[in-house]
Amino acid sequence: MIGLLVGGIAMCALTIALFFLRFWRSTGDRFFLFFSLAFAIEAAHRVLSVATALPSEDEPAFYFIRLCGYGLILFAIVDKNRRREKSRRKE
């Protein structure tokens, strides 16, 4: 049952990643690309957590994967705000 629920979460994360990828292709804004990559990493994390024979998610490798995904989201937000400030200064 747990595998089914984790698979559903991975499917939702991958759907969100494709949603952001579509916005990136139409706008060209790398903010959407970073979000798409972050959700793809989250989907991969969920699949790996079920596919491996490790007893729990308390392993450092799982935390590192999550850290990469969440760090990418933070980087996207900071990058978007920095680019907005630079465009305001030029005006």
Q: So what's the pLDDT on residue 55?
A: 63
DSSP letters along 12-75, please? Answer: HHHHHHHHHHHHHHHH--HHHHHHHHHHHHHHHHHHHHHHS--S-S-SHHHHHHHHHHHHHHHH
Q: Is the pLDDT of residue 84 over 80?
A: no
pTM score: 0.82
Q: What is the pLDDT of residues 38-56, one digit of tens each?
A: 999 999 988 888 888 666 6
Residues in the chain: 91
- Cα distances from 33 to residues 10, 41, 60, 67, 87, in angstroms, run 18, 12, 26, 18, 20
Write down the mean pLDDT value for the chain: 87
Domain ranges of the chain: 2-90
pLDDT digits (tens, 9 = 90+) for 26-37: 999 999 999 999
Q: Where residue 57 falls among pLDDT bands split at 50, 70, 90?
A: low
